[in-house]
Amino acid sequence: MSEAAYSKGLEGVIAGESAIGLVDGINGKLYYRGYNIDDLVAYSTYEETVYLLLFEQLPTASELAEFTVNFRSGRHIATPIQDMIRDFPQAGDPMELLQSVMSYLSGYVAHKIKHSATCNCRQTLHQVAQMATVIATYQRFKEGKPYVAPREDLSHGANFLYMLRGKEPLPYEADILDKCLILHAEHGFNTSTFTARVVASSLSTCYSGISAAIGALRGPLHGGANEQVMDMLAEIGTVYNVDTWLDKALLEKKKIMGMGHREYRVKDPRSFVMETFLRDLSDKKGDSKNLSILTKLEKSFRARMDQKGKPLYPNVDYFSGSVYALLGIPQQLFSPMFAMARCAGWLAHILEQRKDNRLFRPECGYIGPAPLEFVPIDKR
Ligand code: COA
């Protein structure tokens, strides 16, 4: 074994270089290709953000128009894909389905798959475009409802809600969801993105990389925290129960879901934006139950952490589940929706990996026995 440095979980290790996303954990800022996410949320759309991530710069008006037509025309899913979704067992997990469907899609592309930095996937984009259709269709079939074909005149957020509900969402609902997708589109070398890059480094296909990334995202240590926040809210029940619940949870050394982050030492910049969406939606829908519990819980949690000197603040998942719930999205779709937004980031990283590729093949620190003499079975 060589004397190479070892860090469990690669914590603190720079495992590659990237020009895509910058997570500034000290100052609580997040940038995509140099643009602050606050500006992207204020002035951009999910589709323009996808362009930015994949083509490395903001588009001109004509570039965006062309890209949008292309992107939206790729939303349709072939009949065999619909059949695959329909046949998925009711009790199955949608993340497992999503992972399989993404690989299956590779058989339904008109172009010949090219494994290169100028991969056709940047043009066809159908993993990013079709993931939303797959998720909405899964939910429709699960509820015994018919397939709703995607529309090409709607933004990505609006189209998703349209396919899910079978009718157009209100403009403010579509706008909020589109911006939620921007917030989740990219986040540096997180576990799923790193997985996608490792797969890409063997010069495998985008489909394999994205499918593997979904598998990594599925785990509770990565995606899925927003679903656990919803379970926590149900357990707390009312705003009057927050302090009693919190003290008991901390005494039992439980982690408070939606709090803390490996990178951010201050409040996650995405959680500020999510909080404003939740305030807005709570107001418009006349339902502020979750908002009031989350606000009180944050205040009480921060007061206790300040006393202990721990820099633990809300992350993006603290508010996102409640935003989705007020948009009428079922809890089991929260992780798939994370994948739907992050797919753009995964694809950008796969393309970047290929541009200057070196196969990921780290060393293993062997801790097993020294060479042993083989004992025949009758002598053991
Ligand atoms: N609630 C209470 N205490 C927490 C906490 C939380 N959510 N997150 C971290 N801590 C405490 C730990 O108990 C530990 O305390 P100790 O030093 O007294 O043992 C300390 O803070 C460091 O925790 P650690 O788990 O080592 O931090 P990390 O940087 O590896 O973990 C997370 C980051 C996100 C995994 C962690 O904060 C967490 O599990 N949060 C809840 C799940 C979540 O919201 N995940 C979504 C992330 S976007």
Q: Which tens digit of pLDDT belongs to each residue from 360-372?
A: 999 999 999 999 9
Q: Could you tell me if the CB of 260 is within 6 A of ligand 1?
A: yes
The answer, as to whether pTM is greater than 0.75, is yes
Nearest CA to ligand 1 atom 39: 255
Between strands 29-32 and 21-24, the pairing is antiparallel
Among protein residues, the one with the nearest Cα to ligand 1's atom 23 is 260
Distance from the CA of 221 to the center of ligand 1, in angstroms?
10
269 CA → ligand 1 middle, Å: 17
Instruction: Tell me whether residue 261 is one of the annotated catalytic residues.
Output: yes
Instruction: Please name the helix (run of DSSP H) or strand (run of DSSP E) that holds residue 31, with its range, or none.
Output: strand 29-32
Torsion, CA 3, CA 8, CA 11, CA 12, rounded to 10: -20
Distance of CA 308 to the CA centre of its chain: 31
Give the C-alpha distances (Å, rounded to integers) separating 138 from 150, 181, 276. Answer: 14, 19, 30
Rounded Cα–Cα distance for residues 130 and 55 (Å): 19
CA of 174 to the centre of ligand 1 (A): 33
Rounded-to-integer distance, Cα 135 and Cα 358, Å: 34
Alpha carbon of 257 to ligand 1 centroid (Å):
9
Residue 243: its pLDDT value, please? 97
Which residues face 29 on adjacent strands?
24
Mean pLDDT by 10 residues, the chain (380 residues): 79 93 96 98 98 96 96 93 95 95 84 64 81 97 97 98 98 98 96 96 91 92 88 97 97 95 92 98 98 98 95 94 97 95 96 94 94 97
Q: Is 243 a catalytic residue?
A: no
Ligand 1 pocket test, pick from 228, 259, 274, 297 with the greatest ligand atom count within 8 Å of Cβ, gives 259
Dihedral-angle region of residue 23 (phi above 0 means left; psi in -120 to 50 means alpha; beta otherwise): beta
The pLDDT, as a whole number, for residue 127 is: 86
158 contact partners, CB below 8 Å, separation of at least 6: 168, 169, 171, 174, 177, 178
Q: Using CA positions, which residue lies closest to atom 12 of ligand 1? A: 255
Measured from the CB, is residue 257 less than 6 Å from ligand 1?
yes
Among candidate residues 184, 261, 268, 349, the one labeled active-site is 261
Torsion angle (degrees, nearest 10) of CA 117, 122, 128, 129: -160
Q: Ligand 1 center to residue 193 CA distance, Å?
A: 21
Share of the chain above pLDDT 70, in %: 96
Q: Residue 83 has what pLDDT?
A: 96
Contact 201, 208 (CB under 8 A): no
Handedness of CA 237, 241, 243, 244 (dihedral sign): negative
| Cα distances (angstroms) measured from residue 73 to each of 51, 82, 149, 362 | 15, 17, 11, 41
Closest residue by Cα to atom 30, ligand 1, is 262
pLDDT recorded at residue 224: 81
Q: What is the rounded CA–CA span in Å between residue 27 and residue 267?
A: 9
d(CA 39, CA 36): 5
Classify burial at 341, counting beta carbons within 10 Å of its beta carbon; exposed 0-12, middle 13-18, buried 19 or more.
buried
Q: What is the mean pLDDT of the chain?
A: 94
List of residues 6+ apart from 264 with CB closer than 8 A:
23, 25, 28, 313, 315
Return the pLDDT at 100: 95
Note the pLDDT tens digit of each residue in 284-300.
999 999 999 999 999 99
Best probe residue, ligand 1, of 312, 320, 322 (max atoms within 8 Å of C-beta): 312
**CA nearest ligand 1 atom 17, residue:** 310
Q: What Å distances lie between residue 155 and 185, 276, 277, CA to CA?
A: 15, 21, 18
Query: Whats the size of the chain, residue-wise?
Result: 380
Q: Considering only CA atoms, which residue is closest to atom 24 of ligand 1?
A: 262
